[in-house]
A and B are shown apart, each in its own frame.
Chain A
């Protein structure tokens, strides 16, 4: 009886996951999506617990309890700025689970042929995603230096380690009884994960996190092949393709290829390129002047970047948005696809600060409007507004799609100083005649602007 029910539960679970992702296409249905996703997962877990193979429950229940005791606080305590880290950590957990299951399965059944191949793939992807995600977590949390770290021959070392892991995997598929090879295989997979992230800098994190998301999914899918479980195959494939698409979107938004992101160590190469440049004059302005210009404008487009997240300026920015909107100024936010440390990072931060989501506009939609915009206010963004990406063919970011802030009537840039951005590329936007540099910490500068706007209303 039970045996006829659990396939139905699995099918319903898979349908739940599909609807969950489908309903993510709009903010109005997205929360419903989470609910069906949760129901799907519940059905999957219940369906599995009911299977006749499962006879011992005590350890499973203890593990559920321990896992929830760790997971629930993470979900509620983590601030929204830390969402990229949390996601990386979560990837590490999921991948670790897949890898350990593969390992346990190998030692208890020593499968052959197709199943062994799936198992090897599951274990390889699982372990490498686990250490890679932990490295990404460390870099995002700034436990580890965020700068890319490169050394000569890095790519050869990486490919060598990966090649060795694959070679052992292939050997194991044909001769699974060579048990002594398996620990070496595990070690190589773990090391490869570490090596993969060492040369990755902060600006490439959106692509890498998406890619790790994809690997974690593919690992679960491979587990489905190994255990002959179709629900795992479907859920893993959905996750795998999702992560893959997101990383492709991120790469496109930087006009770079996958191999370039993974093996190019962006930022390290260019930092020495144009260091000796003569001092060029810039115009700067005070908060009072900035407030006056903003208040007099009809349309303002704010361009946030990772610097806004670092300075935690989003709440103050929303206050400024409120005051300006009350004064009849049309204020919108232009979101570059790779702004921040994971796809969509800026949207989440601004939504947290209560900025209505219909004010958050994608790059393609808003780029045509800049020439009709009175003020473009750049806050904590740099490379995504660098006109050199379109004008200078030799620039390291040549061809990268940018927000065309330089077409606005006036450009204001909140920045700590004149140091070049992450990629170390000088930005001509700062030296334009219509550009005003607002030097200072993003949060305190916006606070001052809000204060000035307030006094202007009172008088």
Chain B
């Protein structure tokens, strides 16, 4: 199997896994779920680091990479923090109250 074929297999299996996992999430948590998956899509930061930090990076790719690292860090940091901030608010009745 060449590497592209493996990549497509991985994509397909991960997509199905995603379908099955998301279907089980209660509508109660759809907003935090979307924030979380949005934060996970900040994984683009990996590509951004590889471009920006590369030995042979041209000034153009360094500039684009720099903006990409900034943008994906905004996505990553705000995504995770606000997801947690939202989830903190979900309390059950009779749960400990401050």
The answer to whether A and B interact is yes
Question: Which residues of A pack against B, CB within 8 Å?
Answer: 17-18, 20-22, 24-27, 30-31, 33-34, 37-38, 40-41, 44-45, 48-49, 51, 53-57, 59-60, 62-64, 66-68, 70-72, 74-76, 78, 80, 83, 86-87, 90-91, 93-94, 96-98, 100-101, 103-105, 107-108, 114, 209-210, 213, 216-217, 219-221, 223-225, 227-243, 245-246, 249, 335, 337, 342-345, 347-348, 351-352, 354, 356-360, 362
Q: Which of B46, B74, B84 contacts A70 (CB 8 A)?
A: B74
Some 21 contacts from A to B, beta carbons below 8 A apart, are A21-B25, A25-B25, A27-B29, A27-B87, A34-B87, A41-B45, A56-B55, A74-B74, A75-B77, A90-B74, A231-B43, A232-B46, A235-B43, A237-B14, A241-B14, A242-B33, A344-B29, A348-B32, A351-B90, A356-B92, A360-B28
Whole-angstrom CA separation of A21 from B14 in the bound complex: 12
Whole-angstrom CA separation of A245 from B34 in the bound complex: 11
Is the beta-carbon distance between B76 and A67 smaller than 8 angstroms? yes
Whole-angstrom CA separation of A91 from B40 in the bound complex: 11
Is the beta-carbon distance between A237 and B11 smaller than 8 angstroms? yes
Q: Which of B11-66 contact A (CB under 8 A)?
A: 11, 14-19, 21-58, 60-62, 64-66
Is the beta-carbon distance between A238 and B60 smaller than 8 angstroms? no
Nearest Cβ on chain A to B36's Cβ, whole angstroms: 6
Nearest Cβ on chain B to A77's Cβ, whole angstroms: 10
Nearest Cβ on chain A to B78's Cβ, whole angstroms: 4
Whole-angstrom CA separation of A51 from B46 in the bound complex: 11
Given contacts A83-B82, A101-B65, whether A246 and B22 have CB atoms under 8 Å apart is yes
Nearest Cβ on chain B to A314's Cβ, whole angstroms: 11
Q: In the complex, which residues of chain A have a beta carbon less than 8 angstroms from the beta carbon of B42?
A: 41, 93-94, 97
For the side of the interface on B, what is the size category?
35 or more
Q: From A354, which residue of chain B is reached at the shortest CB distance?
A: B91
Whole-angstrom CA separation of A56 from B58 in the bound complex: 12
Whole-angstrom CA separation of A241 from B80 in the bound complex: 19
The 3 closest A-B pairs by CB, nearest first: A67-B73, A344-B30, A71-B77
Is the beta-carbon distance between B27 and A53 smaller than 8 angstroms? no
Q: In the complex, which residues of chain B have a beta carbon less than 8 angstroms from the beta carbon of A249?
A: 27, 30
Is the beta-carbon distance between B28 and A94 smaller than 8 angstroms? no
Is the beta-carbon distance between B50 and A71 smaller than 8 angstroms? no
Q: Which of B37, B82, B84, B95 contacts A217 (CB 8 A)?
A: B37
* Chain B 85-98 near chain A by CB (<8 Å), digits 1 or 0: 11111111111000
Is the beta-carbon distance between B78 and A71 smaller than 8 angstroms? yes
Given contacts A72-B81, A74-B74, A234-B14, whether A107 and B43 have CB atoms under 8 Å apart is no
Whole-angstrom CA separation of A227 from B93 in the bound complex: 48
Nearest Cβ on chain B to A91's Cβ, whole angstroms: 6
Nearest Cβ on chain A to B54's Cβ, whole angstroms: 6
Q: In the complex, which residues of chain A have a beta carbon less than 8 angstroms from the beta carbon of B90?
A: 27, 30, 347, 351, 357
Is the beta-carbon distance between B35 and A87 smaller than 8 angstroms? yes
Whole-angstrom CA separation of A91 from B92 in the bound complex: 31
Given contacts A63-B69, A75-B77, A357-B90, whether A101 and B44 have CB atoms under 8 Å apart is yes
